């Protein structure tokens, strides 16, 4: 049974930083495309970042230069380091694994507000 468990969300002021974690079980995340997506109520889920098994990364246009995806193969965990956060980054953030079926975590809420 594949499980993705996100953590690290919370309230942060504009310009601040957060690191989200996605702990995977039931799969070895290093063999698959892992990613982060975000969604607000009434809006479509949008790409934040993905990483292939070979380490190739892809970022959404709105987060390029501010967000970094990384992976710890020993901990079987994928991270999302978010810097210089803006109010428009406020969303529910979801971890995704294409393994090869599509799996999603339960989400972690990020709120950027002063």
Q: Looking at residue 70, what is its pLDDT?
A: 97
pLDDT band with cut points at 50, 70 and 90 for residue 56? very high
Q: Are the CB atoms for 49 and 56 separated by under 8 Å?
A: no
The beta strands (E) that lie in the chain are given as: 3-7, 10-12, 18-25, 33-39, 46-51, 57-59, 67-72, 77-82, 91-98, 102-104, 108-112
| Joined tokens for residue 70 | 């990384």
pLDDT band with cut points at 50, 70 and 90 for residue 51? very high
The Cα–Cα gap between 2 and 103 comes to: 7
Mean pLDDT of the chain: 96
């Amino acid at each position: 049974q594949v499980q993705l468990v996100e953590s690290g969300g919370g309230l942060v002021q504009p310009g601040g930083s957060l690191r989200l974690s996605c702990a995977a079980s039931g799969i070895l995340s290093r063999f698959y495309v892992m990613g982060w997506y975000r969604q607000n109520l009434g809006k479509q889920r949008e790409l934040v970042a993905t990483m292939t098994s070979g380490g190739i990364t892809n970022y959404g246009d709105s987060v390029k230069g501010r967000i970094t995806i990384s992976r710890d193969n020993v901990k079987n965990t994928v991270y999302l380091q978010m810097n210089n956060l803006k109010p428009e980054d406020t969303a529910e953030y979801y971890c995704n694994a294409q393994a090869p079926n599509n799996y999603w975590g339960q989400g972690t809420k990020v709120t950027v507000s002063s």
